[in-house]
Structure 1
Amino acid sequence: MHALIVTAHPDPHSLSHSIAAQVAEGVLSAAGNSREIADLAAEAFDPRFTTADLVVHRTQAPPPADVAAEQARIDRADALVLVYPVYWWSMPGLMKGWIDRVFANGWAYDEGPGTKLVKKLHHLRVHLVAIGGADVRTYARHGYFGAMKTQIDHGIFDYCGARVVTSELLFDSQTKDPAPLLDTARAIGRNLFNASRREIAEAA
């Protein structure tokens, strides 16, 4: 099974990149698995939603080449893993812009005037790995857990029919030893396809 791991941090030596690398190692620890890491910052993906993207949204033109390439990446994957630092209680603008442009009308879903929404990504399994600087009490006190599920799990992926299988929030990233966080990331990678394999076994 194949995983696409997406990260959006400008510093290649950041904890976000180390977490993504450990998820990738975990994925590869099981025979037959493969992975691809999409480093949006290093690849200089343009997150700006322009007039060209609006034309795509209105289904008046096919997506531009950079968007089509990202959609093809996702189409090749059995699982999509987003690894990102929490910026202002959300994901970085680069990753959000990637979602804005890539999860487009006509590919992620079909919707138009007078037509019923058709969700097109039922096959996709999503795993979220958010890296927070604050402690668990801070996130709980401000209601971030519920806000994240509303904004990302439901607002983005459920709208397209994709299923968020796991949603991890790693705490105290700026103050504590990163080793336990890296261990958690590796475990996430190892277990990434367990649910999918159970589904296949039950269907057989």
Structure 2
Amino acid sequence: MHSLIVVAHPDPASLTHAVAARIAQAIADAGESNTTAIADLMAEGFDPRFNGEDQALFRGIAPPPADVAAEHARLDATDTLVLVYPLYWWSFPALLKGWIDRVFTQGWAYAEGADGKVEKRLQRLQVHLVGIGGADAAMIERRGYGAAMNTQIDMGIFDYCGARVLSSTLLLEADTGAAAAHLQTAMEIGRKIGHPTS
């Protein structure tokens, strides 16, 4: 099983990067047949701006731009996608949202038929979401942010393409000394991904 862990944070010394590394290590430790790769979108210089080439692809009049085609190939070789990201305004950072906008394209992630029905093309892909935030769970619940993120991300993006979100975890109060606990949770997430039946 191959897992791609996508990270969107500008600081390689951040808790976000540490959580991604722990998840990758736990997946690898869980079985000899497990492989992982970390896609650090910032370090790789991924351009999140939806441009004219992307619009032409959406309209079906041009092939994918080279960087998008490379991401398609990377995801085609992936069984499990893990997104690790800080919460910015109760969603993905712009870099990660732009990656989704540009990579989860019509014709690859989904296809709209002439009859208006959507063909979900990523049904083979398993997804795990790990958001890291400074707020506490009571605030998330009181304001309905958790439900809003579930609707927008889990359902609005991944379910639309047929990808199955197997876990969606918020690691909260990250600014108040919870880092050690979050790193332990990251190990547990990685173990569950590496041993899906245990």
* Secondary structure of 1:101 counterpart: helix
Counterpart in the other structure of 1:6: 6
Which stretches of structure 1, 4 residues or longer, exceed 3 Å deviation after superposition? 112-115
Give the deviation of 1:60 after TM superposition: 1.0
Counterpart in the other structure of 2:191: 190
Give the deviation of 1:117 after TM superposition: 1.1
Counterpart in the other structure of 1:83: 84
Q: Which amino acid aligns with 1:183?
A: Q
Counterpart in the other structure of 1:202: none
1:64-143 aligned at under 5 Å gives the runs 64-111=65-112, 114-143=115-144
Counterpart in the other structure of 1:45: 46
* Secondary structure of 1:191 counterpart: helix
Q: Which runs of 5+ in 2 are unaligned?
A: none
- Separation in structure 1 between the aligned mates of residue 61 and residue 73 of structure 2, nearest angstrom: 20
- Separation in structure 1 between the aligned mates of residue 30 and residue 98 of structure 2, nearest angstrom: 32
Q: Percent same amino acid among aligned pairs? A: 58
Counterpart in the other structure of 2:171: 170
Per-residue CA deviation, residues 143-191 of structure 1 (Å, 9 max, x unaligned), is 0111011000000000000000000000100112411100100110111
Number of aligned residues: 197
The two structures have a TM-score, normalised by structure 1, of: 0.93
Q: Which runs of 5+ in 1 are unaligned?
A: 199-204
1:12-31 aligned at under 5 Å gives the runs 12-31=12-31
* Secondary structure of 2:9 counterpart: coil
Give the deviation of 1:112 after TM superposition: 5.2
- Separation in structure 1 between the aligned mates of residue 48 and residue 64 of structure 2, nearest angstrom: 14
Give the deviation of 1:61 after TM superposition: 1.0
- Separation in structure 1 between the aligned mates of residue 194 and residue 58 of structure 2, nearest angstrom: 32
Partners of 2:126 and 2:165 within 8 A in 1: yes
- Separation in structure 1 between the aligned mates of residue 195 and residue 21 of structure 2, nearest angstrom: 19
Give the deviation of 1:80 after TM superposition: 0.1
Query: Which is worse superposed, 58-67 or 186-195?
Result: 186-195
Q: Which amino acid aligns with 2:7?
A: T
- Separation in structure 2 between the aligned mates of residue 174 and residue 26 of structure 1, nearest angstrom: 24
Per-residue CA deviation, residues 23-80 of structure 1 (Å, 9 max, x unaligned), is 0011011122110000000001000001110110111111011001111111111100
